[in-house]
Amino acid sequence: MKSALKIFYRPPFIGLLAFLLVFISQGLGHTLWMLVSMMFGHDYQYLAAFILGIFGLSLLFIGMKNENEVVATWLGYFAAVLMWTGWVEYSFHFYSDLSETEVRFFMQSTTGIMMVTLSYFFFNKETRCNFFKWFHRNLRLSTGKPTSGYRRNYAAITAMETIYVMWFFYIILYLLYEFAGDRSPITYTFFFLNSIWALFLLLRLAKFWNVTRAVRYAIPTALIAFASYEIMLRWKILNEIWLSPREYIFELVLITAAISLGILIAVITPEGEKERLARKDALDS
């Protein structure tokens, strides 16, 4: 078993595995949304969604107390997916039903809230976000040196990063469809540039040795790629099996099992072995 897992100790498998796990789990998040609606019906789906968010919050709490970086990172990610699905998406649908207004208007109305709250993370001197740091360097927006000895809480960081990236792309896509249309030159341009961006990040991700860094880098990379995938679904180039659990039950169970196995592999992959191989490759080169 140990020798069979050695393939995952090296690039590009560490980064590509993390990317696939995050990308596919986004689709499974859509399946979860559909299952809650189907199983509990209109009368109880919102209560079930609230409980789903509570479960996500519990995962976040457990992750914040966990000292294992890989476990904490995955718990933070799945906590974000559950809280987003249970508390954010369903709250929009609840008020959409209540006011007989389309869901997209509620999502678009949160643009200002997202920008205001995002400013806290953008100017946070403890940030390690490459995207934010690029702006800090090039616009000379230094907010001070990071605190010496500051210990990052990987579950909390991962959860917030996941929520904000999902939030950002939901708004972008809704605005594109609302004001430009899904077949407009603006949408085509966005799709092209976004796909190039995702591919560039994926190529960088393929060079990662460290599992936790790979997972945290894979989350925005996969979410960026998923935005292009969403547009292709809108164009009906692809079939969204995630929203048809009855028709694709076998495929979705198989995908879920594969995702669970992939996460298990990522968790049990020994850090020491990867570091040893990384040093060996550096010496050989």
The domain tally of the chain equals 1
What mean pLDDT value characterizes the chain?
85
Rounded CA separation 22/76 (Å): 12
Please enumerate in sequence order all residues whose Cβ is within 8 A of that of 81, keeping only pairs 6 or more positions apart, or say none. 25, 26, 29, 32, 56, 162
Rounded CA separation 160/216 (Å): 11
Rounded CA separation 12/246 (Å): 35
Q: Classify residue 231: in a domain, yes or no.
A: yes
Q: Classify residue 197: in a domain, yes or no.
A: yes
Higher pLDDT, 210 or 256: 256
Quote the pLDDT of residue 238.
81
Q: Classify residue 141: in a domain, yes or no.
A: no
Q: Classify residue 98: in a domain, yes or no.
A: yes
Per-residue pLDDT reduced to its tens digit, 224-269: 999 999 999 999 888 888 888 888 888 888 888 888 887 777 667 6
Q: Classify residue 229: in a domain, yes or no.
A: yes
Main-chain dihedrals φ then ψ at residue 110, nearest 5 degrees: -90, 5
Rounded CA separation 165/81 (Å): 11
Q: Classify residue 279: in a domain, yes or no.
A: yes
Quote the pLDDT of residue 231.
95
CB neighbours of residue 187 within 10 Å? 18
Per-residue pLDDT reduced to its tens digit, 88-136: 999 998 888 888 888 888 888 999 999 999 888 888 887 877 788 888 8
Per-residue pLDDT reduced to its tens digit, 50-60: 999 999 999 99
Quote the pLDDT of residue 279.
53
Q: Token pair of 206, please?
A: 């393929």
DSSP H helices, 66-123, are: 69-83, 90-99, 103-108, 111-122
Q: Classify residue 125: in a domain, yes or no.
A: yes
Q: How many CA atoms lie within 13 A of 88 on its CB side?
A: 21
Per-residue pLDDT reduced to its tens digit, 61-82: 999 999 888 889 999 999 999 9
Quote the pLDDT of residue 1.
47
Range of the domain at 235: 2-133+154-284
**What is the pTM (predicted TM-score) of this model?**
0.86
**Torsional class of 270: left (φ above 0), alpha (ψ -120 to 50), beta (otherwise):** beta
Q: Classify residue 143: in a domain, yes or no.
A: no
Per-residue pLDDT reduced to its tens digit, 16-29: 888 998 999 999 88
